[in-house]
Chains A and B, each alone.
Chain A
Amino acid sequence: MADGPQTRLPLLEVDGLKMYFPITAGLFRKKVGDVKAVDDVSFTIYEGETLGLVGESGCGKSTCGRAILRLYEPTAGRVVLAGEDVLAAPPSELRAMRPRMQMVFQDPQASLNPRMTVAGIIGEPLDEHTTLTRAQKLARIYELMDKVGLNRDFANRYPHEFSGGQRQRIGIARALALNPKFIVCDEPIAALDVSIQAQVVNLLEELQDSLGLTYLFISHDLSMVRHIADRVAVMYLGRIVELASRDALYDAPMHPYTQALLSAVPEPDPNAEIDRNRIILKGDVPSPANPPQGCNFCTRCPKVMDICRKVEPRFEEVTPGHFLACHLYQEAAVGAAPSGANPEQSASPQDPNFQQGET
């Protein structure tokens, strides 16, 4: 798991992804603004790795995952999966691409149709994308059920007859049915008990090893991400503020938000817990409909500077493999920037430095 991603090929490239939801008001539903749920997010996921995407509730993690799979129509940006542009594909091509990218959902209760049997649910992708005979389909369904550790006899049962962990296994089996390369795990463990969480995460890891899967693992559970992810991206208010390899991020977080987030992870050792130095952020997360000028975090940042309120920090590589959007570490860049630069201009995705470079 620790081998450098540099040696691998990029599987998914996300470039300047924006997902704005329009706000309408008045009698004629006039558009009065946007909720910037995902605002200019760029990252790369390498083949066979797990990228953890963390952040607090409402920061746009799930929306980001769904926009990548084009379950929403993103406002702007480019998503390239194994050389094919997902966002630009016409409906028929997109349908042909679906088998390669799948999703595991957060709420295993809501993500399974209550009127379908387990066999029907796991078999749906096969119905849609393959021309297997009935017997072949059933064989494949049983194979998938074995793979995720479900008893074959459960095939005729309905989702409400299962526990949360079992339901999540059904969801994982459905995602695996078409041999995808890339799976977005949208908080797959958030709705489960702690003991079941470990089972599901271990199952995901085993499947990754045996099938060579690539995950985008969305979660707000920092310790679980530390366990499963190879690299971690931290999101705040629709933007990625820091992206680094797991060890670099957890051992030496650079962005003040990441530092505050990590300081909130409880310490199992009670002696260490007493000495734990928590960084407590003041105030609330600003509304994504009206993000602050400059850096998104400037309203709550303990190390805020004047420039943070004016100029948006660029998301760039500060040390190899460690991407950061913070003025604290961009003195040189700040000096080079023209004084009084229009913050809106500096936020534009055309800025070549804004995109994440290849490493």
Chain B
Amino acid sequence: MTETTTAIRPPRNQWWDVWDQFKTHKGALVGLTIFLTILLGITIGPFLWDLAPTYVDLRARNQGFSLAHPLGTDQLGRDLLARMMAGGKVSLSVGLTAMALAVSLGTTIGVLAGYFKRLEGPLMRLTDLFLALPLLPLLLLMVTLFREPLSQRFGPEGGIFLLIVTAIGATSWMQTARIVRGEVLALKEREFVLAARSIGTPARRMVLRHILPNVMSPIMVSATLGIATAIITESALSFLGLGFPPDFPTWGRLLFDAVDQIQLYPMRVVLPGIAISLTVLSVNYIGDGLRDALDPRIRGR
């Protein structure tokens, strides 16, 4: 043993190792770049391109790409670039928030059901109940019941945002809960959990220190898939007229508005479609890279 000759490194923060591994995943890096570009585009973009997304210019209807309108205009002469940026802001925030809500709800319920035997029955039956609910009628009911009171309280946009995020979050946590519960059940019987018990680790820290880090991979996967589902569900809701008001742009609404004239102006469908696909794809790659980076067994290979 050459303890004296080698300098002893003090334990460094684990997140540096995670970042080192993340950097080696090419797909994840490309995904991260694309995602950051989209994020920058929709946050800083409106300041550089200050045409209002709702400004109607009937004389400039259905235009193609030009300097005045880089991505053209729609059937009411609204600038598509401005609408894409405004729509991206809404779609992304709905997607991220609804995903965060669904994943944290699903993880909490899954861990509780898996770790505490007494809670397993009630919580898993609740999960089954939610899985069995017909989603669209439920969303319809939620929107019709709560749209007005929420709009009055938080303003028309804030209210509907809250409603849609809650609606999507509350109806898509079940898969995560089931996956997490299964993983926790398996982990609970592992010897290192027993070892922690022999040390006297209380249940709370047992879950945070031993269980949660080890169920990170499935959570990561369902989170990245969840963003995609949330964006698409929001589009579907907007299409049914249950989402944001008609003049309020989201990627999903832009897509559906343009579907009528897909043969005349295909680019109007393609552009929001590309934006949604790129976001979903980049998030999936980021999730993939993160999952690998978080697993010390894969790290360093």
Cβ of B196 within 8 Å of any chain A Cβ, yes or no, is: yes
A125 to B79 CA separation, bound complex (whole angstroms): 62
Q: Which of B190, B294, B296, B299 has the most CB of A within 10 A?
A: B296
Contact for A153 among B6, B196, B210, B294, CB less than 8 A: B6
B195 touches A171 (CB 8 A): yes
List B contacts of A221 (CB < 8 A). Answer: none
Instruction: Take A114-B214, A160-B297 as given contacts and tell me if A129 and B200 are in contact as well, using a CB distance cutoff of 8 Å.
Output: yes
Cβ of B68 within 8 Å of any chain A Cβ, yes or no, is: no
List B contacts of A149 (CB < 8 A). Answer: 1
Q: What's the least CB distance linking B194 to chain A, in Å? A: 6
List B contacts of A129 (CB < 8 A). Answer: 199-200
Contact for A114 among B3, B14, B296, CB less than 8 A: B296
A327 to B194 CA separation, bound complex (whole angstroms): 39
B296 touches A71 (CB 8 A): no
**Sampled A-B contacts (20; CB under 8 Å):** A95-B200, A95-B202, A99-B200, A101-B198, A107-B191, A110-B190, A111-B192, A112-B192, A113-B192, A113-B214, A114-B214, A114-B296, A119-B11, A124-B196, A124-B209, A128-B200, A128-B205, A153-B3, A153-B9, A160-B296
B200 touches A94 (CB 8 A): yes
List B contacts of A95 (CB < 8 A). Answer: 200, 202
Q: What's the least CB distance linking A176 to chain B, in Å? A: 12
- Residues of A at the B interface (CB closer than 8 Å) are 66, 69, 71, 94-95, 98-99, 101-103, 105-107, 110-117, 119-120, 124-125, 128-129, 138, 142, 149, 151-153, 155-156, 158, 160, 171, 174, 178
A110 touches B11 (CB 8 A): no
Please list the 3 inter-chain residue pairs (A to B) with the smallest Cβ-Cβ separation, ordered nearest first: A98-B200, A158-B296, A111-B191
A1 to B49 CA separation, bound complex (whole angstroms): 86
A138 to B12 CA separation, bound complex (whole angstroms): 12
Instruction: Take A119-B11, A153-B8 as given contacts and tell me if A110 and B192 are in contact as well, using a CB distance cutoff of 8 Å.
Output: yes
Q: What's the least CB distance linking A309 to chain B, in Å? A: 38
Cβ of B201 within 8 Å of any chain A Cβ, yes or no, is: yes
A9 to B65 CA separation, bound complex (whole angstroms): 93
Instruction: Take A71-B194, A110-B192 as given contacts and tell me if A115 and B200 are in contact as well, using a CB distance cutoff of 8 Å.
Output: no
Q: What's the least CB distance linking A332 to chain B, in Å? A: 43
Cβ of B149 within 8 Å of any chain A Cβ, yes or no, is: no
A106 to B191 CA separation, bound complex (whole angstroms): 9
Contact for B14 among A71, A117, A138, CB less than 8 A: A117
List A contacts of B294 (CB < 8 A). Answer: 115
B199 touches A128 (CB 8 A): yes
- Residues of B at the A interface (CB closer than 8 Å) are 1-3, 6, 8-12, 14, 190-192, 194-202, 205, 209-210, 213-214, 216, 294-297, 299
List B contacts of A103 (CB < 8 A). Answer: 195, 198
B12 touches A156 (CB 8 A): yes
Q: What's the least CB distance linking A281 to chain B, in Å? A: 31
Which A residue sits closest to B17, measured CB to CB? A156
Q: What's the least CB distance linking B213 to chain A, in Å? A: 4
List B contacts of A138 (CB < 8 A). Answer: 10-11
A101 to B9 CA separation, bound complex (whole angstroms): 32
Our count of residue pairs bridging A and B at CB distance below 8 angstroms stands at 91
A113 touches B210 (CB 8 A): yes
A156 touches B214 (CB 8 A): no
Q: What's the least CB distance linking B11 to chain A, in Å? A: 4
Q: What's the least CB distance linking A348 to chain B, in Å? A: 31
A99 to B296 CA separation, bound complex (whole angstroms): 29
A115 to B195 CA separation, bound complex (whole angstroms): 15
B194 touches A66 (CB 8 A): yes
List A contacts of B216 (CB < 8 A). Answer: 115
Instruction: Take A105-B191, A114-B214, A153-B6 as given contacts and tell me if A69 and B198 are in contact as well, using a CB distance cutoff of 8 Å.
Output: yes
A102 touches B214 (CB 8 A): no
Which B residue sits closest to A158, measured CB to CB? B296
List B contacts of A125 (CB < 8 A). Answer: 199
List B contacts of A106 (CB < 8 A). Answer: 191
A219 to B156 CA separation, bound complex (whole angstroms): 71
Q: What's the least CB distance linking A124 to chain B, in Å? A: 6
Which B residue sits closest to A99, measured CB to CB? B200
List B contacts of A178 (CB < 8 A). Answer: 199
A155 to B297 CA separation, bound complex (whole angstroms): 16
A155 touches B190 (CB 8 A): no
Which A residue sits closest to B193, measured CB to CB? A113
A207 to B15 CA separation, bound complex (whole angstroms): 35
B297 touches A158 (CB 8 A): yes
A98 to B195 CA separation, bound complex (whole angstroms): 11
A98 touches B199 (CB 8 A): yes
Q: What's the least CB distance linking B207 to chain A, in Å? A: 13
Q: What's the least CB distance linking A190 to chain B, in Å? A: 13
B195 touches A111 (CB 8 A): yes
Contact for B297 among A71, A114, A116, CB less than 8 A: A114
Which B residue sits closest to A129, measured CB to CB? B200
Which A residue sits closest to B201, measured CB to CB? A128
Which A residue sits closest to B300, measured CB to CB? A161
